[in-house]
Amino acid sequence: MREEILHKATELFLNLGFKSVTMDDLANEMGISKKTIYSHFENKTKLVEEATMNLFWSISDGIDQIIALKKNPIEELYEIKKFVMIRLKNEKASTLYQLRKYYPRLFETLKKREIEVMHECLIDNIRRGMEFGIYRKNLNVQFVARIYFSGAISLGDQDLFPVSKFTRIELEDYFLEYHLRGIVTPKGRKILNEIINSNQD
């Protein structure tokens, strides 16, 4: 039952937002009592924490599986983006923004975990791209990895990128293309253009 509650809560949080979903909503959705939920989760904050970290590790494992396929680094980033957007259900409720606003300590914990996990993946992606001759040889790998990560985090900031102006999918597409066009070689640009064109078909 604990896993079922966690699964349904995660789904509701992604679709409706952390603030909107109450324990009553969750109980009604599942056809169970609030008492049952509280027997597994001390309070809503604990439920949000577990749902968020559970989703994070699930996404992290999926990214590891994509990296293990050893695709070319440009294609790899597009596959990761696609996978993450599916897992986050295109972030209809701007969950990252809500997490930062209503659960700031949890947001900071999550950000630190993401830096630990994603930094290594980004470093590896950049280095392989340079070895393949599709990323420029003169890149400062540490800088590019950090600037990419900080940019990716900022996409969830609704003050900078309000949902009235951008959908989450548009933002992810624009950002990834912006990042790659700044670091690719002519050989890499050809691969990038082919991927972008195939995605528009």
Q: Is a pLDDT exceeding 80 seen at residue 201?
A: no
Q: Is residue 29 part of a domain?
A: no
Please compute the mean of the pLDDT values over residues 31-43 and round it to a whole number: 95
Q: Is residue 150 part of a domain?
A: yes
pLDDT score, position 174: 95
Q: Is residue 31 part of a domain?
A: no
Q: Which domain holds residue 157?
A: 56-200
Any bridge partners for residue 184, and if so which? 135
Report the range of poorest mean pLDDT among 3-17, 85-99, 173-187. 85-99
Q: Is residue 8 part of a domain?
A: no
Please compute the mean of the pLDDT values over residues 35-52 and round it to a whole number: 94
pLDDT band at 91 (very low <50, low <70, confident <90, very high): low
- pTM exceeding 0.95: no
Nearest Cα neighbor of 58 from 19, 89, 92, 16 is 89
Q: Is a pLDDT exceeding 80 seen at residue 34?
A: yes
Q: Is residue 21 part of a domain?
A: no
Total domain count, the chain: 1
pLDDT score, position 85: 86
CATH code assigned at 80: 1.10.357.10
Q: Is residue 146 part of a domain?
A: yes
Q: Is residue 17 part of a domain?
A: no
Q: Is a pLDDT exceeding 60 seen at residue 181?
A: yes
Q: Is residue 43 part of a domain?
A: no
Contact residues for 173 (Cβ-Cβ < 8 A; gap 6+): 81
- Give 62-84 pLDDT, tens digit per residue: 999 999 999 999 999 999 999 98
pLDDT score, position 92: 55
